[in-house]
């Protein structure tokens, strides 16, 4: 059960944060040659992600206190809708996440990274809340611990990508396909496992 939760947390983190690799890579590219860039990016990413987790947990606690258990599986509609929207945007060839514009003209400061991370985390909160509502408190703690450990891996990977242009181009090319597929699958799993619509 614990291994299953850890694997699910890893998959969920990858699905919701793969686009952050591009943004963080741009931060590393901008701060190249400056002393302390890696430390500031790590601190900023942790602050921003802690804000995302805090918001998701608070919303989950509030929803769990006021909603009957039968309603909780229907929160799977949120990642399903986000996945379908992302798929629609990918199909239309439209991308509203202009990563370069997000950091253009800004220095690599802790609060800049934290702000961009949190602002880019709306989808994360929308996905984490239904997942947190569908599992017990111990699993929520396990998810949060795994997520926080993976933030360091994400920053390290972004630094690696920032120094290898072909990898960044591949991720940028396929992120729009992987993101909707994983979100749609996650939404369906939440709906089916919770017995929504009599499934």
> What are the tens digits of pLDDT across the range 29-56?
777 778 888 999 999 999 999 999 998 9
Share of the chain above pLDDT 90, in %: 18
- Contact between 132 and 63 (Cβ < 8 Å): no
What is the rounded CA–CA span in Å between residue 181 and residue 15? 9
pLDDT by residue (tens digit) across 92-121? Answer: 875 555 555 444 434 678 988 888 888 777
Q: How many of the other CB atoms lie within 10 Å of CB of 179?
A: 21
Q: Is 0.75 topped by the overall pTM?
A: no
What is the rounded CA–CA span in Å between residue 16 and residue 144? 14
Q: What is the pLDDT of residue 145?
A: 94
- Contact between 157 and 96 (Cβ < 8 Å): no
Share of the chain above pLDDT 70, in %: 82
């Amino acid at each position: 059960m614990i291994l299953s939760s850890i694997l699910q947390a890893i998959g969920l983190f990858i699905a919701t944060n793969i686009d952050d690799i591009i943004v963080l890579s741009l931060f590393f590219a901008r701060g190249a040659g400056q002393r302390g860039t890696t430390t500031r990016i790590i601190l900023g990413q942790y602050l921003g992600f802690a804000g995302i987790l805090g918001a998701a947990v608070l919303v989950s606690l509030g929803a769990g206190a006021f909603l009957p258990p039968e309603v909780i599986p229907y929160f799977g509609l949120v990642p399903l809708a986000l996945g379908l929207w992302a798929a629609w945007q990918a199909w239309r060839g439209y991308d509203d996440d202009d990563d370069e514009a997000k950091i253009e003209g800004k220095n690599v400061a802790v609060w800049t990274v934290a702000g961009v991370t949190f602002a880019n985390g709306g989808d994360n909160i929308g996905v984490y809340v239904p997942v947190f509502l569908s599992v017990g408190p111990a699993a929520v703690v396990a998810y949060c611990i795994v997520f926080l450990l993976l933030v360091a891996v994400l920053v390290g990977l972004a630094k690696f990508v920032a120094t290898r242009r072909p990898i960044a181009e591949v991720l940028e090319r396929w992120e729009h396909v992987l993101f909707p597929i994983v979100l749609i699958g996650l939404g369906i799993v939440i709906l089916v496992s919770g017995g929504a619509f009599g499934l």
